[in-house]
């Protein structure tokens, strides 16, 4: 997970009281933050966009800007040092990604404030017109929400806070800009109304952030700009590219890649225009609510923006509190703690929530940026934090049992030790995949044996994997510029439909391994498989087989009377091309046992 550095001086300034670093570390840990360590940061100014870049004091000065991608021949200029607390970001609490959000939570936990923080949103005059083309399949990025924030003039600290939070939200909510991306601009450089539309990538030009005076086409930015190269995969399906322009046709940004140079925020900027665009509504709305609420803690005043969609008109952001009903007795039962009703209310207010009794239950109001609250148990967790985990007495369980590893874990460990001993590196990949990644790239089609998710959250979660090839080949693909040979393995479960089972499926524990390199082939793969079979105490009979993902005449299946099954061979050249691989790959998949 990414690590964020929180300035101790900045945090104390927002708290309005000077706390020792050790006290802040303890309070943050009790809130559930994962404190990595404390350190001294050196701050360096980018030559192009003036954004402050952070490095540990003992590290070399940067030459590449984390925000605009500008690369310099000379190290950036150091302009300050700052004591910090370094935290591992937790994706379920994006409201704690920055110094503003942390100060808000700490004010409650440390008794400085209670209940919901005061948030006022006034009516603004900026409008955004959304082109109907944004919903087309070849330009699909239909969701957009915006806000205007009046800030105290940005200094290097607040500019760093804004830019760092933007990037952290790209990771935590936007899934590295795939679901949503944020743009922050100097509103004084923009002439509303703003239009969200599409452009021809080969013809439309503007100056991208970090390259003042250099006009590039959208296609050139994707191919040459550091940010464009890094996120080019997000534009692969687009025939026309998303663009935000003002009434003078000045470009604000090309989401989700890069802002324009002319509209960038800088030292002294005080009027911010913020947009969030994306492919999922929740990610877009949650990103805006989180960044705007954080800016309020830094002294910002928020104004709405009128969004003119083709089918409706909408004003954003909506920061009105959300509500949930919880039961006092249920909270005590779930937590195993005994506290009075007054204490119950106090713990919730300590966590910056409002509580109102409604007969035998309580109505809890929580802020719009608390995207982690979906069920009453999420509120119970806040009660436990308010109570203090350090105050919960340790107890022995009422009955003691002796655990042991499951059968599939025992054989998996034997196989794992064998593979590591043979010089392989282990990987772990996801159970849910797309049809393209699980079948199409292997010249296969799903059939009645394969589990297809009827209503997946994304197309990347459409099918439950029935083999482990995808993880192996995608890892080779990501490391294709590294030295070969490469040797990796994975141990994991696969699922196949079986109507005779109570669950409707059979679940198997598989071992898969792959070797890529100019000399990789069937002979090497068989020698490795024979070694693994010997370690798990099994033997099998090798027979020639055929499979569309493997080269003809270079595949064998291994079976015996005890249910052993394995497939060993050389990956088909077309499959290698589908993954952008230029060296041969020997691949084997061995069924260790059925998971019971």
CA 435 → CA 432, 445, 458, 464, 472, distances in Å?
A: 10, 8, 11, 9, 16
* Contact of 91 with 76, CB cutoff 8 Å: no
| Alpha helices in 245-367, H assignment, sequence order | 281-297, 328-335, 341-350
596 residues of the chain, pLDDT tens digit each? 678 888 899 999 999 999 999 999 999 999 888 898 898 888 888 877 777 888 887 788 888 887 666 788 888 888 888 888 988 887 788 999 999 999 999 999 999 999 999 899 999 999 999 999 999 988 999 999 999 999 999 988 888 889 889 999 999 899 899 999 999 999 999 999 999 999 999 999 999 998 888 999 999 999 999 899 999 999 988 999 999 999 999 999 999 999 999 999 988 999 999 999 999 999 999 999 999 999 999 999 999 999 999 999 999 999 999 999 999 999 999 999 999 999 999 999 999 999 999 988 999 999 999 999 999 999 999 999 999 998 998 888 788 888 889 999 999 999 999 999 999 999 999 999 889 999 999 999 888 889 988 888 778 888 999 999 999 999 999 998 899 899 999 999 999 999 888 888 999 999 999 999 999 999 999 999 999 999 999 999 999 999 999 999 999 999 998 889 999 999 999 999 999 999 999 999 999 999 87
Start-to-end CA span in the chain (Å) = 33
Contacts of 497 (CB under 8 A, 6+ apart): 448, 449, 450, 451, 504, 505, 506
Rounded to two decimals, the pTM is 0.69
Helices (H), 16-155: 21-30, 99-109
DSSP 475-543: HHHHTTTS-S-EEEEEEEEEEEE-TTSTTSEEEEEEEEEEEESTT--HHHHHHHHHHHHHHTT---EEE
- Kind of pairing between the strands at 361-366 and 354-358: antiparallel
Question: In sequence order, what are the residues at sequence separation of 6 or more whose Cβ sits closer than 8 angstroms to the Cβ of residue 272?
Answer: 148, 149, 150, 151, 162, 184, 185, 186, 187, 265, 295, 300
Full set of structural domains in the chain with CATH? 3-90 (no CATH), 121-316 (3.50.40.10), 322-388 (3.30.56.10), 407-594 (3.30.930.10)
Which stretch of DSSP H or E encloses residue 362? Answer: strand 361-366
Quote the CA–CA distance of 338 and 395 in Å, as a whole number: 14
Q: How far apart are CA 152 and CA 268, in angstroms?
A: 8
Pairing of strands 301-303, 121-122: parallel
145, burial (CB in 10 Å: exposed 0-12, middle 13-18, buried 19+) = buried
Question: Distance (Å, rounded) from C-alpha 203 to C-alpha 307?
Answer: 28
Whole-number pLDDT of residue 90: 78
């Amino acid at each position: 997970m990414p690590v964020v550095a929180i300035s101790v001086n900045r945090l104390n300034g927002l708290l309005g009281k000077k706390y020792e670093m050790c006290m802040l570390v303890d309070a943050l840990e009790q809130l559930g933050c994962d404190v990595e360590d404390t350190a001294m940061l050196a701050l360096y100014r980018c030559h192009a966009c003036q954004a402050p870049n952070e490095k540990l004091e003992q590290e070399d000065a940067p030459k590449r800007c984390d925000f605009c991608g500008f690369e310099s021949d000379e190290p950036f200029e150091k302009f300050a040092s700052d004591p910090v607390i370094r935290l591992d970001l937790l994706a379920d609490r994006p409201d704690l990604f920055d110094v503003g959000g942390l100060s808000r939570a700490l004010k409650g936990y440390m008794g400085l404030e209670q209940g919901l923080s005061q948030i006022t949103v006034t009516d603004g005059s900026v409008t955004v017109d959304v082109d109907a083309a944004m919903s087309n399949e070849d330009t699909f990025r239909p969701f957009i929400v915006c806000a205007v924030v009046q800030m105290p003039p940005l200094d290097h600290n607040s500019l760093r806070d804004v830019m760092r939070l933007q990037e952290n939200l790209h990771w935590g909510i936007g899934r590295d800009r795939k679901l949503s991306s944020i743009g922050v601009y100097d509103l004084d450089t923009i002439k509303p109304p703003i239009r969200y539309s599409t452009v021809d990538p080969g013809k439309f030009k503007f100056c991208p952030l970090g390259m003042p005076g250099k006009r590039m086409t959208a296609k050139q930015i994707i191919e040459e700009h550091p940010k464009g190269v890094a996120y080019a995969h997000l534009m692969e399906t687009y025939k026309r590219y998303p663009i935000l322009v003002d009434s003078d046709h000045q470009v604000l940004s090309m989401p989700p890649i890069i802002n324009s140079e002319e509209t960038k925020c800088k030292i002294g900027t005080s009027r911010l225009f913020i947009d969030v665009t994306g492919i999922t509504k929740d990610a877009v709305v949650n990103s805006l609510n989180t960044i705007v609420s954080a800016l309020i803690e830094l002294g910002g005043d928020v104004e709405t923006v009128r969004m003119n969609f083709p089918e409706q008109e909408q004003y954003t952001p909506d920061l009105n509190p959300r509500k949930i009903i919880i039961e006092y007795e249920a909270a005590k039962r779930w937590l195993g703690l005994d506290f009075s009703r007054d204490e119950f209310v106090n713990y919730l207010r300590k966590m910056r929530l409002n509580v109102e009794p409604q007969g035998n239950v309580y109505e809890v109001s929580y802020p719009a940026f608390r995207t982690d609250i979906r069920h009453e148990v999420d509120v119970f967790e806040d009660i436990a934090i308010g109570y203090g985990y350090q105050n919960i007495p340790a107890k022995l369980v009422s009955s003691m049992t002796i655990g042991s590893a499951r059968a599939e874990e025992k054989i998996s460990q034997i196989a794992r030790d064998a593979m590591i001993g043979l010089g392989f590196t282990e990987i772990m990949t996801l159970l849910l995949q797309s049809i393209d990644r699980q079948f199409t790239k292997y010249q296969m089609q799903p059939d009645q044996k394969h589990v297809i998710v009827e209503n997946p959250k994304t197309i990347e979660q459409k099918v439950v994997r029935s083999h482990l090839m995808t993880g192996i080949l995608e890892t080779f693909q990501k490391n294709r510029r590294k030295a070969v040979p490469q040797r990796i393995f994975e141990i994991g479960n696969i699922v196949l439909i079986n109507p005779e089972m109570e669950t409707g499926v059979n679940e198997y524990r598989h071992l898969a391994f792959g070797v890529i390199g100019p000399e990789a082939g069937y002979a090497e793969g068989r020698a490795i498989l024979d070694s693994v079979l010997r370690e798990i105490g099994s033997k099998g009979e090798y027979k020639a087989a055929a499979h569309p993902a493997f080269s003809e005449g270079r595949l064998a299946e291994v079976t015996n009377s005890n249910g052993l099954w394995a497939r060993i061979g050389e990956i088909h050249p077309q499959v290698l091309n589908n993954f952008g691989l230029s060296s041969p790959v020997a691949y084997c998949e061995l069924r260790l046992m059925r998971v019971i």
